[in-house]
Amino acid sequence: MSIIVDDIQIAKGAGIKNRFPDTRDLLSGAGITVTNAGITAGVGAAGSDTQVQFNDSNLLGGDSDFTWNKTTNLLSLGTLNLDGGTTTPSLYADDAAADTNGESLQILGQNALSNANGGDVELFGGAGVNGSGGSVELIGGNGATDGLGGSIVLDGGTAAGSQRNGDGRADVLETDETKKNGRFILSSNGGPVIQKMVGTMTTTNATSATTTIETLPTADVMYLEARVTGHRTGGAAGTADDSAAYRFSAAYKRVASAAPTVMTAIQSDFSVEDQAGWDATFVVSTNDLRLQVTGATDNNITWHYEITYISSNGSIT
């Protein structure tokens, strides 16, 4: 005999005494079964096999974008958004035990099959609202005693076959909303800082436009190299596709807290231009080193630049 119900509630202290002689289910319902062997209760897993279980409005939930393969130890996430609330969220490998190397952390794009492209790895800081956007920090583990610090490797995937010349790129850019450019920073602990920045400016007349490269710290020296192109995109004067290109370098220093001074004349080793009035150079404004571009009246010009610079004291940001 069996009794099937949709639900059953057993008050605290109450019990069910079974006097039936066989082991068939005696009472069954959602989440509870009573047999000669005793009472068992359980809730079935949500979703499909390998899907990780989570609290979904106080019920078990599963999702195809969140799976765990116990055979390959592979955790799969469709999109990973880290939100630490008032603290900075972190994704890191465990610290090492004594006299052992720190664990490595790898974030890998999926390898392609057949003639498909390899998967991208993209890391984005959060967007700011009336505030600065969030940073993406890649920090190698610190070495202990005589150990080396952990490396950060940015490796674009290797192309295959006829696409051999199309190996993947490793793009590292910071979008600086105050300076309207992107920059890549390379530094050693307490040592020199090397930065590379790229960006765009526009002019529509002969009035110069500038962008701040860096504030030169006190008692420091900085060496800069710039490559700049200009391209006329419209305007009443000039000729379609008038262009220019420049490459120049300079060194600036600050003695104590005095204003920066150029150590020698700006060195130009390449300059071509369709209009003689166009120009690109470095200038100083208070303690800031700036790139300045100058176009011509009634010429709409788009300027692209790449600047690499090194500071000796490691304090620039």
Tens digits of residue pLDDT in 62-83: 999 899 999 988 888 877 776 7
Encoded tokens for 171: 């793009």
Residues 229-279: pLDDT tens digits? 999 999 999 999 999 999 999 999 999 999 999 999 999 999 999 999 999
Statement to judge: residues 317 and 214 lie in one domain: yes
Domain count, the chain: 4
Whether residues 72 and 93 share a domain: the answer is no
Residue position matching structure tokens 């279980």:
53
pLDDT band at 20 (very low <50, low <70, confident <90, very high): very low
Dist. CA 191–CA 264, nearest whole Å: 25
Pair (143, 250) in one structural domain: no
Across the range 194-213, mean pLDDT stands at: 91
> What is the per-residue pLDDT for 37?
56
Say which CATH number the domain at 216 has. 2.60.120
Could you tell me the pLDDT band of residue 168, with boundaries at 50, 70 and 90? low
> Does one domain contain both 97 and 72?
no
Q: What is the pLDDT of residue 49?
A: 93
Same domain, 30 and 86: no
Residues 26 and 105 in one domain: no
Q: Which of 43, 45, 32 is nearest to 54 (CA)?
A: 45
Please tell me the distance from the alpha carbon of residue 77 to that of residue 91, in angstroms, as a whole number.
Answer: 14
- The boundaries of the domain holding residue 112 are 80-125+133-171
pLDDT at 179: 45
Pair 233, 300 in one domain: yes
Same domain, 140 and 183: no
If phi > 0 it is left, if psi is from -120 to 50 it is alpha, else beta; for residue 241 that is left
138 and 228 belong to one structural domain: no
Q: 125-166, pLDDT tens digit by residue? A: 777 777 666 777 777 777 776 676 777 766 666 655 544 444
Residue 287: name the closest of 230, 215, 224 by CA: 215
Is 44 within 8 Å of 30 (Cβ atoms)?
A: no
pLDDT of 21 above 60: no
In the predicted model, what is the mean pLDDT of the chain? Answer: 77
On whether both 179 and 314 belong to a single domain, the answer is yes
Distances (CA, A) of 274 to 141, 233, 249: 52, 13, 22
Burial 7-39 (b: 16+ CB within 10 A, else e): eeeeeeeeeeeeeeeeeeebbbeeebebbeeee
Query: Which helix (H) or strand (E) segment is 273 a member of?
Result: strand 267-273
d(CA 148, CA 59): 48
Q: Given this model, what pLDDT does residue 172 score?
A: 57
Q: How far apart are CA 79 and CA 66, in angstroms?
A: 9
Task: DSSP for 292-313, please give it.
Answer: EEE--TT-EEEEEEEEEEEESS
Question: Does 107 share its domain with 237?
Answer: no
72 and 180 fall within a common domain: no
pTM over 0.75: no
Residue among 203, 220, 231 nearest 289 (CA): 220
